[in-house]
Amino acid sequence: MVKPTVISTFAGCGGSSLGYQMAGFHELLAVEWDQNAVDTFRLNFPDVPVYHGDIAKLTGAECMRLAGIEKGTLDVLDGSPPCQGFSTAGKRKFDDPRNSLFKEYARLLSELQPKVFVMENVTGMVKGCMKQAYLQIIKTLRECGYKAKGEVMNAMYFNVPQSRERVIIIGVREDLGIEPTHPKPQGKPITFREAVKGLSETIQAPEIDHVWIDEISRNTKWIHAAAKLRPGQKLIPNVASGRRLHWDKPAPTIQRNAPPGCAPYVRNSMIHPSQARTPSIREMARCQSFPDSFSFVSALTEGMARIGNSVPPNLMKAIAEHIKVNILEAANDPPSP
């Protein structure tokens, strides 16, 4: 059976790519500009061609040439344009230049005309004043010739040990005559305890140094205070970072950056449920549903950024499987007599 095809834009280290791979897709091309993300992607997906550069400089014709396809033959165009300008963790500026990168995605969508597209972004884009930006995004995508529908999905209901809400927009090319739909929740949330069960210290080392809290406290007082919190307690209300993790709850949303003034390995100030240390890269990778076999280049300094920026593989696996069965296979089925 021929595998459905996908091109991943804003591919990062390959969270989405791994999800598509697990769902039985064949990735034809990944597009990414960050050097460490590209190095990490190539380490884990050596057989997938990578366009390492600015997506604004990638034409549709060149994209199709690199992927070895013709217009209209690609099954899925995937993309997670940088979303800092929409994020509720940031200043949420409507005119943030990073918010316009979705237009480059839409340009490639228009030029490639895949059967389906998937676009992921933060929930901040559908809240308050940013909702106008979301409506403009939907309008732009529909003008490319697609029926498009967005839905807020929480990764913790799709075998990801993390409460992580994201807007997932799925579009289906109009000529296919199929309405876009999203997968239903697949199970109960997975706790941090379940996520890290059986994690070998040999896998984690040398990333579990228990003196980190003392070192961190020299730089940032409120992180030192976070180390004294009870399990699940937050230092700052409504902020994912600055809390001690709870053994029997999913991790909160993993973000890419540590608070200002912190060492790069702080892991956005989350504290282990019972030890005086931050979570290890491997613990956070499990909370993002990366397997232990997934490698990170410069894990101690860059790994958190790669994890925080990625789409949880298990979430994308659920989306990809849903698209494969309910859209692509339905489009290929002959009409009933």
Mean residue pLDDT across the chain: 83
Q: Residue with structure tokens 């979705």?
A: 102
- Other beta carbons within 10 angstroms of residue 95's beta carbon come to 8
- Please confirm, yes or no, whether 144 is among the known catalytic residues: no
Q: How confident is the model at residue 3 (pLDDT cuts 50, 70, 90)?
A: very high
Positive or negative, the Cα torsion across 281, 284, 286, 289? negative
What's the whole-number mean pLDDT along residues 43-70? Answer: 97
Backbone φ and ψ of 212, nearest 5° = -55, -40
| DSSP string for 95-136 | T-GGGGHHHHHHHHHHHH--SEEEEEEEGGGGSGGGHHHHHH
What's the whole-number mean pLDDT along residues 274-284? Answer: 81
What's the whole-number mean pLDDT along residues 118-137? Answer: 80
Distance CA 135, CA 112 (A): 23
What's the whole-number mean pLDDT along residues 173-193? Answer: 97
DSSP annotation of 234: B
Asked if 281 and 300 touch (Cβ cutoff 8 Å), the reply is yes
pLDDT in tens, 61-83: 999 999 999 999 999 999 988 75
pLDDT in tens, 17-32: 999 999 999 999 999 9
What's the whole-number mean pLDDT along residues 86-106? Answer: 62
Structure tokens at 138: 């939907």
How many Cα neighbours within 13 Å face the side chain of 277? 14
Residues of the chain above pLDDT 70, percent: 75
Asked if 323 and 170 touch (Cβ cutoff 8 Å), the reply is yes
Structure tokens at 172: 């289906």
Distance CA 155, CA 158 (A): 5
Structure tokens at 109: 């969508």
Beta bridge partners of 171: 117, 148
76-79/5-9 β-pairing = parallel
Closest by Cα among 137, 139, 135, 169 to 152: 169
Greater model confidence, 53 or 264: 53
**Which amino acid is present at 87?**
S
**Helix intervals (H) in the chain:** 15-22, 35-44, 60-67, 101-112, 131-143, 192-196, 201-204, 212-219, 221-226, 281-287, 299-309, 313-323, 329-332
Q: How confident is the model at residue 280 (pLDDT cuts 50, 70, 90)?
A: confident
**Which amino acid is present at 218?**
R
Distance CA 131, CA 122 (A): 12
Structure tokens at 43: 């380490």
Distance CA 269, CA 226 (A): 8
Q: How confident is the model at residue 210 (pLDDT cuts 50, 70, 90)?
A: very low
Q: How confident is the model at residue 143 (pLDDT cuts 50, 70, 90)?
A: very high
Helix axes 101-112, 131-143, angle to 10 degrees: 20
pLDDT in tens, 222-272: 444 555 556 655 544 444 445 778 999 999 998 876 544 454 445 456 778
Structure tokens at 300: 């101690």
Distance CA 228, CA 218 (A): 15
Predicted local confidence at residue 87, as pLDDT: 46
CATH topology of domain 5-187+311-331: Rossmann fold (3.40.50)
Output Rg (C-alpha) for the chain, integer angstroms. 20
Greater model confidence, 175 or 211: 175
Q: How confident is the model at residue 205 (pLDDT cuts 50, 70, 90)?
A: very low
Predicted local confidence at residue 55, as pLDDT: 95
Q: How confident is the model at residue 84 (pLDDT cuts 50, 70, 90)?
A: low
Residue in 13, 83, 144, 287 annotated catalytic: 83
Of the listed ranges 90-99, 209-218, 277-286, 323-332, the least confidently predicted one is: 209-218
Structure tokens at 264: 């790069």
